[in-house]
């Protein structure tokens, strides 16, 4: 009997959640409604009572956060080049021009030692990214941001369930953006959430989420800002409510699997393993770096032949054609470029068995010893 293919990720959705989705479909109210309100309330409770609004993607939450932070044409917000391209694309959407700061080799997150020097009068916001679920040091980040009077939009798309200095990501800080994409630690199939700071009007956030519309009790309406079509459906919210109940268990299981990888990967293979942070990271992904000179495409193909799915998260985005048009080039951010060329994402998701880690490690050994 052939061994089943092991993808690098797969969501775990229980039968109770599937039944809840069926109930929503039967109810006739399938777009934004009571389930969205319940999901926002549950997320607010998780985030220590902070105001949370849900959206149809994590990308939308970042864009709306920038608009709420009044980032616009002529501004130069800062982020890392080692992230999903959406983090920078939303800056272009609001008319701003991205500024990149290289990553620190030890964390693969934005190098906070280089951040202060990159802040200019046109820097209204910083978007740090918690790569693979390892949080940027929030204490140091906010020391820099507050000293320079710059807003922070935390791209916590990958770090729900993680913590920094003993505080859950989302429970403190300025804007915090989560993603519920299918590959995230909890999913709504597609979706996201934005945690709002106290000085931001939630009703303005809601108008930006849905075409700028403001409704009145008499049935009239007005539009006073340009909004998008970013609302989450009740179908998606029902999935999210079911997933959120399992977040702690999912995180514990991911940490256990990551421990197994550290124990069982043969150090003689030459892989550079990710930061071994089991206190703060939620282990959204397990990402070693291939040995220098390894043909990554051939490696991925060889692992696939052995029944193992491998992802790439992420190439350094400043080298994409779109961003080269802004003058970015090879050599601008050497640490991110090196990591982006060699990084691979190995299977890690809660439904994996311990033996699946052994399968991956055996395939790694067979593949890298032959390459």
- Across the range 118-122, mean pLDDT stands at 98
Q: Is 210 helix (H, G, I), strand (E, B) or coil?
A: strand
229 tagged catalytic: no
Structure-block tokens of residue 130: 């918690």
Q: How many helices (H) and strands (E) does the chain have?
A: 13, 11
Q: What number of CA atoms fall less than 13 Å from residue 45's CA on the CB side?
A: 8
pLDDT over 90 (residue 73): yes
Q: How many CB atoms lie within 10 A of CB 168?
A: 16
Q: Which of 114, 184, 329, 370 is catalytic?
A: 184
DSSP code string of 182-209:
TTSSS--BS-EEEEEPTTS-HHHHHHHH
Q: What is the CATH number of domain 15-244?
A: 3.40.640.10
Going by the DSSP 8-state scheme, the letter that residue 290 receives in this structure is: P
**Which of these, 345, 350, 318, 309, lies nearest to 132 by C-alpha position?**
345
* Contact yes or no for 80/103 (Cβ under 8 A): yes
Cα–Cα dist 221/338, whole Å: 53
* pLDDT at 371 (0 to 100): 56
* pLDDT at 238 (0 to 100): 98
- Each domain of the chain, given as residue ranges in start order, spans 15-244, 247-370
- Across the range 286-309, mean pLDDT stands at 98
Q: What is the CATH number of domain 247-370?
A: 3.90.1150.10
Cα–Cα dist 146/271, whole Å: 38
Q: 164-211: per-residue pLDDT in tens? A: 999 999 999 999 999 999 999 999 999 999 999 999 999 999 999 999
Q: 7-23: per-residue pLDDT in tens? A: 999 999 999 999 999 99
* Contact yes or no for 241/38 (Cβ under 8 A): yes
Query: Residues, the chain, total?
Result: 371
Cα–Cα dist 217/206, whole Å: 17
The per-residue pLDDT of the chain, averaged, comes to 97
- Please state whether the predicted TM-score (pTM) of the whole model is above 0.95: yes
pLDDT over 80 (residue 266): yes
- Across the range 19-40, mean pLDDT stands at 98
* pLDDT at 79 (0 to 100): 98
Sequence-distant (6+) residues with CB within 8 A of 158 are 129, 130, 131, 132, 133, 179, 184, 185, 282, 284, 285
Q: 50-72: per-residue pLDDT in tens? A: 999 999 999 999 999 999 999 99
Structure-block tokens of residue 166: 């003993």
């Amino acid at each position: 009997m052939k061994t089943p293919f092991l993808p690098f990720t797969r969501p775990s959705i229980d039968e109770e959640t599937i039944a809840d989705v069926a109930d929503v479909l039967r109810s006739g109210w399938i777009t934004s409604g009571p389930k969205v309100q319940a999901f926002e309330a549950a997320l607010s409770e998780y985030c220590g009572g902070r105001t949370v609004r849900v959206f149809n993607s994590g990308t939308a939450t970042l864009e709306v956060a920038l608009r709420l932070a009044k980032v616009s044409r002529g501004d130069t917000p800062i982020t890392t080049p080692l992230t999903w391209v959406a983090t920078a694309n939303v800056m272009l959407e609001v008319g701003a021009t991205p500024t990149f700061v290289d990553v620190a080799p030890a964390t693969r997150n934005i190098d906070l030692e280089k951040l202060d020097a990159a802040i200019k009068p046109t820097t209204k916001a910083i978007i740090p990214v918690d790569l693979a679920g390892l949080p940027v040091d929030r204490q140091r980040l906010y020391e820099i941001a507050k000293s320079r009077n710059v807003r922070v939009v935390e791209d916590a798309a990958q770090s729900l369930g993680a913590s920094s200095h003993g505080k859950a990501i989302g429970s403190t800080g300025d804007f915090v953006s989560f993603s519920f994409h299918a590959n995230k630690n909890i999913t709504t199939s597609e979706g996201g959430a934005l945690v709002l700071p106290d000085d931001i009007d939630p009703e303005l956030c809601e108008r930006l989420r849905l075409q700028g519309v403001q409704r009145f009790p008499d049935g009239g309406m007005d539009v006073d800002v340009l909004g998008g079509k970013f609302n989450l459906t009740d179908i998606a919210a029902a999935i999210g409510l079911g997933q959120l109940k399992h977040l702690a268990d999912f995180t514990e299981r991911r940490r256990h699997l990551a421990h197994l990888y550290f124990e069982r990967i043969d150090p003689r293979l030459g892989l550079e393993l990710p930061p071994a942070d089991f206190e703060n990271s939620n282990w959204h992904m397990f990402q070693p770096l291939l040995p220098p000179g390894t043909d990554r495409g051939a490696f991925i193909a060889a692992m696939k032949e052995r029944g193992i799915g491998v992802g790439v998260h992420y190439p350094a985005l400043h080298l994409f054609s779109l961003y080269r048009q802004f003058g970015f080039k090879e050599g601008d951010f050497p640490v991110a470029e090196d990591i982006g060329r060699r990084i691979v994402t190995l299977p890690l998701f809660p439904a994996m068995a311990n033996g699946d880690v052994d399968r991956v490690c055996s395939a790694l050994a067979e593949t890298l010893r032959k390459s």
